[in-house]
């Protein structure tokens, strides 16, 4: 469990085994960003901890797409981590905090590498659930910005979804899409 003397933080990329020169200090042992999150979730099976760490990271990617993470987005990420990961409040807060910091600091190539690993660790049904969660995080502040929409589209592609599949999920969030909000609705 989590405690004041938990091991030193590590990076998601190294924990996932995807360091290969992408991230300073990363090794083939796993993504340090994911390992940092997953190490704090030590009560979980290693594969489950890695999945949840990568999941939290991609949620943070969307929240940070517009270069700021709103309190409502962070709260939604914590709720999703708690519910889908069966985490305690403390574990969910920690996983989201670390993922948010990592996504904000690393970005770029790390984004693709972590998302590719999430794809590897997940089933098709889990990836569909992740896509829904991405829209839920983006909509948490009431509006899905164009930047968030673009980031979700990129993540969806990295997770193996077609544009049509992403658009089908996206259509359920129409009322929150900034680019569609002021368009007249058909009767």
- Residue 32's pLDDT band, with cuts at 50, 70 and 90, is low
Please indicate whether residue 150 or residue 16 has the higher confidence score (pLDDT). Answer: 150
Rounded distance between C-alpha atoms, residue 22 and residue 69, angstroms: 24
Give the domain ranges of the chain.
Answer: 12-176
Task: State in words which class domain 12-176 has.
Answer: mainly alpha
User: Residue 117 in contact with residue 103, Cβ under 8 Å?
Assistant: no
* pLDDT at position 119 over 90: yes
**pTM higher than the cut 0.85:** no
CA angle, residues 170, 157, 19, in degrees to nearest 5? 130
Which token pair is 136?
């839920």
Q: Single out the residue of 19, 40, 15 nearest to residue 96, CA to CA.
A: 40
Please indicate whether residue 149 or residue 90 has the higher confidence score (pLDDT). Answer: 149
Residue spans of beta strands (DSSP E) within the chain:
31
Which range is least confidently modeled, 11-15, 27-31, 77-81, 152-156? 27-31
C-alpha to C-alpha distances, 186 to 42, 62, 183, nearest whole angstrom: 51, 29, 9
Please indicate whether residue 124 or residue 45 has the higher confidence score (pLDDT). Answer: 124
Q: What does DSSP assign to residue 74?
A: H
Phi, psi dihedrals of residue 27, rounded to the nearest 5°: -135, 175
N-terminal to C-terminal alpha carbon distance within the chain = 54
**pLDDT exceeding 90 applies to what percent of the chain?**
52
- For position 16, what pLDDT does the model report? 54
Residue 140: strand, helix, or coil: coil
């Amino acid at each position: 469990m989590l405690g004041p003397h938990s091991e030193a933080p590590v990076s998601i990329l190294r924990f996932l085994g995807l360091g290969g020169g992408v991230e300073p200090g990363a090794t083939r042992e796993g993504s340090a960003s994911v390992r940092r999150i997953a190490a704090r979730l030590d009560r979980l099976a290693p594969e489950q901890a890695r999945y949840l760490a990568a999941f939290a990271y991609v949620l943070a990617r969307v929240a940070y797409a517009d270069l700021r993470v709103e309190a409502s987005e962070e709260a939604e990420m914590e709720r999703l981590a708690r519910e889908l990961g069966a985490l305690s409040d403390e574990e969910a807060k920690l996983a989201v905090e670390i993922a948010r910091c990592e996504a904000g600091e690393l970005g770029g190539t790390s984004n693709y590498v972590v998302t590719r690993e999430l794809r590897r660790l997940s089933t098709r049904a889990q990836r569909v659930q992740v896509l829904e969660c991405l829209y839920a995080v983006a909509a948490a502040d009431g509006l899905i910005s164009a930047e968030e929409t673009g980031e979700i589209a990129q993540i969806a592609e990295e997770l193996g979804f077609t544009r049509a599949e992403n658009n089908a999920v996206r259509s359920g969030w129409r009322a929150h899409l900034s680019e569609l909000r002021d368009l007249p609705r058909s009767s």
